[in-house]
Amino acid sequence: MWQLLQATAAVVQGVRSGRSLTPEIEAVPSELRPGVQALAFQVMRQLGRATALREQLASKAPPPAADALLCTALALSWQDAEAPYPVHTLVNQAVEAARQQRTTHAQSGFINACLRRFMREREDLVALTDTNPQAFWNHPLWWIERLKAEYPAQWQSLLGMAQQPAPMSLRVDPRHHSVAEYQAQLLALGLPAQAVGATGLQLAKAVPVTQLPGFAQGHVSVQDAAAQVAAPLLLQGRDATKPWRILDACAAPGGKTAHLLACYPQARVLALDVDARRCQRIDQNLKRLGVQAEARAEVRAADAAKPDSWWDGENFDAILLDAPCTASGIVRRHPDVRWLRRPSDSAQLGQIQAQLLKALWPLLAPGGRLLYCTCSVFRSEGDETVQAFLQRNTNAQLLPSPGHLIPGHAPTGLPVVDNALGEHDGFYYALLEKERA
């Protein structure tokens, strides 16, 4: 176990230095990776509490590697009910991890003393940290204050839900199965699921995709129910007699691109992403799902904000802009996001979102539609961005749209009326239509 704790602490140290959790976990040796991923996710969700406890035990932080290991142990052991192993075992193995590593060996006695004191005084120390909002809610203070201001009736539920693992939701391809048929297949394998949205299923328990029947053949995709709203919302009321030309402006990893093509087989879709490696993921997803027939989808590495470098001059009938954002709506799936973001990030990303809207709007044909979306719950990356855009562009009209989809609350303005979205992520949607000439 000490090796697992060492590797987990190294991942935690990486996140604290500004690196994303996913590549840090991918760099872990394969034999340790599954265990490290489970532990690292738990630490990220309890890092505010762990940091506050460490400050009670030692006001001056030890060197980064030792601090990461100490906080890892505290995050995993401060609650008996949630501890992955008995607390005394975690403490013993954390001290062993410190002794076995060159970068922490000199602090092993310090870590041992802190953890032994924590075991003796755990109840009192936890009570002291309960008064610290960052410890109690396990989010940065600025994040907590922003949610309080923007969602005065819902901020506590938003923070509470962020501490829970996200459900695994699937999008069923109707070319292969109806939702009910695929739901029956899952149930026969002991995998109960409930219908969400138009073509979605939410599993009662997450499983590896290799256990999903027909996954490799493209019968189903993993996609949150809130993300499944994009294609039907953009395509509702389309003219079925003509093949729309659609731009997916920030397309990686390709889930929404594939959904567009599944919903509208006649469409011609140009999928862009600024990162060439991420474009490879789009290609892989489209090939698995079998939606690249007849050259209907073109994938290109390009910066959507610089059309002069990639646009051929032909207007698009529809544009999907899933804009870069803080990802504050998917913190359940990416628990490191809360610790990587800074208070100024939302405003800076809002400027990028505004630049993308400004660059792409002229590319839209008269009467065409642009769907702007982000996986953020912050208003500056949703309502505020769109309202500012509408003030500057009098030829743009806001059509009925869901706006901010908040986890735990029934959304309105959706293109789907039969099924709720289940435990969906936080998202924002605004459907804009361009005035006809």
Question: On the CB side of 126, how many CA atoms lie within 13 Å of its CA?
Answer: 13
* CA distances from residue 349 to 22, 353, 425 in whole angstroms, order as listed: 21, 6, 19
Is the bond preceding residue 253 a cis peptide, omega within 30 degrees?
A: yes
Residues 6+ apart with CB under 8 A from 133: 141, 144
CA distance 253 to 367: 29
CA distance 147 to 370: 28
- Residue 246: DSSP 8-state: E
Of 42, 76, 53, whose CA–CA distance to 163 is shortest? Answer: 42
According to DSSP H, which parts of 246-396 are helical?
Answer: 255-263, 276-289, 337-340, 345-360, 383-392
Angle subtended by helix axes 33-45 and 64-77, to nearest 10? 80
**The two three-digit tokens of residue 145, written as one number:** 């204050």
Please, are residues 199 and 179 in contact by the beta-carbon 8 Å criterion?
yes
Please, are residues 426 and 162 in contact by the beta-carbon 8 Å criterion?
no
Please, are residues 221 and 170 in contact by the beta-carbon 8 Å criterion?
yes
CA distance 402 to 424: 13
* CA distances from residue 321 to 165, 261, 351, 428 in whole angstroms, order as listed: 27, 16, 14, 11
Of 200, 304, 214, whose CA–CA distance to 255 is shortest? Answer: 200
* Backbone dihedral angles phi then psi of residue 407, each to the nearest 5 degrees: -55, 135
Residues 6+ apart with CB under 8 A from 233: 371, 401, 402, 414, 415, 429, 431
Query: Annotated catalytic sites, by residue?
Result: 375
Identity of residue 385:
T
